[in-house]
Structure 1
């Protein structure tokens, strides 16, 4: 009954409130865009990177901040600011966490339009590019192999410059999370070794309509749900400036971890050793529907602890064609024997338990093999499909039954069993009752729906298009 009431309320506000809010938001956004165009008139990108804006251009900043804040107010977002923002002389860099939504971008209007770290493609966007460029951002060039080092050099140069550059605003997690913890901070903000000001951001709302992660609703749905709430709250808290000691200046990772600990304490959340790379791995595993996708980061870390990665045990086992007779049901002692592990090792026991979901002492070893091998050695998705076809081939002769084939596609391309059956029937024109991977390959290369398997890398296909923002979402609050 309560859910029905919420849905009815959202429907009514969609008709009554949403059009008004969207109209007002568009007015402020267009006004800000026009003002940014004026402020950038006559300036090249080199000019923006060479020196900070000054004179009448700099005086436009407070007006742009007012317009940006008005956008959020028009959308029903009440921003509550706690603490005091330090100026650039006290803290050249602001680090913001946790980063959980595209709405976090509004913090630039509450902090005086600081410079941000952004992909170069965003600056060329005809809609928001002008507003981004007015912050004099530090650009990341994805097609430049030296981009990371160049970005760090630019951050150091800006943070230690005598010129009156804006403060630099950085989300050190590098990705969106669900605010249940603080993941590992990337060290970019901490390389300059200058005082930084930690800034905590919270959304203390009964209904979470903002969290934007790879398991949650889309950006458009979240925006709609937020705009159809009577009001929402965002809380920004400026913590005291953190001045690094000599050891932290020499070790950016130590500096980052210590700042993270301070912020986690203020937020009342734990820290997690997940990294941005871990999040990317889980995102790809989830997108592919690999077995045990949400645990694969932990599984890979256990494998490293057991030195399985150095010995390439699983790869050698698969290539040797000496697998268990009934790989879909093996017990712990068989698992240890296959991987040459000690059954008394705690890590071995934990690794087995991660796959023993039913706690019956039996696991599907094929799921384990695919999970640990499909994401290794920079394999493409096509490689993963080939690998799955070999792993789930019950004949051992490369002849895939419809059940083998459907399982391979389910755990690599996330195809339903019904769709895989349809493909199988189209490939098996001679009604042999089996197909080979090469048969499938010959079929797929002619079909438009499989074009991405042959044209894009796994990085391009499987990083969700959310500005690269992905995260583990094990404890995400759900939107009704």
Structure 2
């Protein structure tokens, strides 16, 4: 069994048995054929400039009206009491101009259902959140109060956002989350005539393939909420803005060069929480999410943004089992492995003297697991076709990656060196090095050969962990090994 090739040890039967875990943070967008490319080029010349000019004119007009409405009001005034009188009467006009700016860009906004009054539902819960163009919901809901980062107000759009009397989140405030929840509760339960509070509970943009975990902040008040769904039923999806995919400018360009696009906003019936839901905001959030997912006809996925960032990073690095990282995380937690990090104790030179291909009984025994369903599920994730065995180093690498996910990647690499070094001296030959870097750094064959030889300038035929780290520190492209956060930075949402 020890003679298995690299390609064989990287094949997971579970990848063949079921679809890869849905990743709601990826969006692929390309012009598929020559016709689309030619049409886009033509519309870029003859349609785009006209649309941009009209949109800018409308935005500036709305901004000017907002400036008039905010004249004489401080930020403290906006947070202390709702607008009244002539200031409030400007809102319908600004909303009309806002809707016209979308129509000028070729996007028609259609509304289904009825928006509840603030008395019926002080909070509007909007999902899925998939684009910066979702801001149309502010105009469609008569300028409901949004939740925004305070630093986002330092631009010309800030005046328009301020006119909604938003709830501010201060990124540098360690108590920001608690303060925001407190302010949401105060707004939602106030007897004054505040605008409804508008919340995107997913907290980030997805590709609308599912609804991810709802953050419970908007459900703490325990008041009725109105679920609101957004759809973009277009032949070409030029609006979805996820952390892996086209940037904002490309999406805006492609959207404005479409002949026509549309957005559908649907107000669902008001959701009245039970006493149990009032006591448990997370339960309340889950149940509202289920209602919205059913209305949209899409699944729910208990993923957070950080979960998928970690999974995507694992896939890029070639970490074994990366496609099932969420499942592995949950199973390790249920089996107590994530608490004691039992796997790290198994990373020692004696591993090299053991058989690396193990059956279920050996797998469970080495990890000190009970013979139950969760242990078998964890084993099955790493099971190989043909052998019906698990290549134990694959599991250890994945477990070390998860155990050290908040540390620099070099820490995981240290454990991986011990896993794949066949002797107690810590010396690794080129074959073992290839097995290591394809699983931990995502290196291809050419990169593997080049880096090994550069890390072994004397031609000894082997390298140690210290040799590799010394080499890596001289290479700017390997700086990510030493960064505290090795995940890709998301786009600003």
TM-score of the superposed pair, with normalisation by structure 2: 0.83
Aligned to 1:475: none
Query: Offset at 1:413?
Result: 5.0
Mapped partners of 2:171, 2:410: distance in 1: 24
The question of 1:350 aligning with 2:377 is answered yes
Confirm or deny: 8 A CA contact 2:310 2:487 kept in the other structure: no
Pick aligned residue for 2:446 from 399, 418, 422: 418
Mapped partners of 1:52, 1:10: distance in 2: 45
Confirm or deny: 8 A CA contact 2:318 2:442 kept in the other structure: yes
My pick for the range that moved more, 274-283 or 145-154, is: 274-283
Aligned to 1:429: 457
Mapped partners of 1:382, 1:29: distance in 2: 49
Aligned to 1:368: 395
The question of 1:383 aligning with 2:411 is answered yes
The question of 1:213 aligning with 2:242 is answered yes
Query: Offset at 1:8?
Result: 3.4
Aligned to 2:492: 467
Query: Offset at 1:451?
Result: 4.8
Query: Offset at 1:143?
Result: 2.8
The question of 1:46 aligning with 2:86 is answered no
**Secondary structure at 2:139 match in 1:** helix
Q: Structure 1 residues 106, 382: closer, same or farther in 2, change over 3 A?
A: farther
The question of 1:187 aligning with 2:212 is answered no
Pick aligned residue for 1:457 from 476, 484, 490: 484
Mapped partners of 1:368, 1:402: distance in 2: 22
Aligned to 1:259: 288
Query: Offset at 1:27?
Result: 2.9
Aligned to 2:338: 309
Pick aligned residue for 2:195 from 166, 189, 193: 166
Mapped partners of 2:424, 2:57: distance in 1: 65
Once the two structures are superposed, residues 437-457 of structure 1 have per-residue CA deviations (whole angstroms, 9 ceiling, x without a partner) of 333333444554455555x53
TM-score of the superposed pair, with normalisation by structure 1: 0.85
The question of 1:143 aligning with 2:168 is answered no
Aligned to 2:121: 91
**Secondary structure at 1:96 match in 2:** strand
- Once superposed, what is the RMSD of the aligned Cα atoms? 3.0
Aligned residues: 462
**Structure 2 unmatched runs, 5+:** 1-30
Aligned to 1:270: 299
Query: Offset at 1:193?
Result: 1.0
Query: Offset at 1:333?
Result: 4.5
Mapped partners of 2:378, 2:36: distance in 1: 43
Pick aligned residue for 1:339 from 355, 367, 371: 367
Larger radius of gyration: 2
Mapped partners of 1:247, 1:123: distance in 2: 38
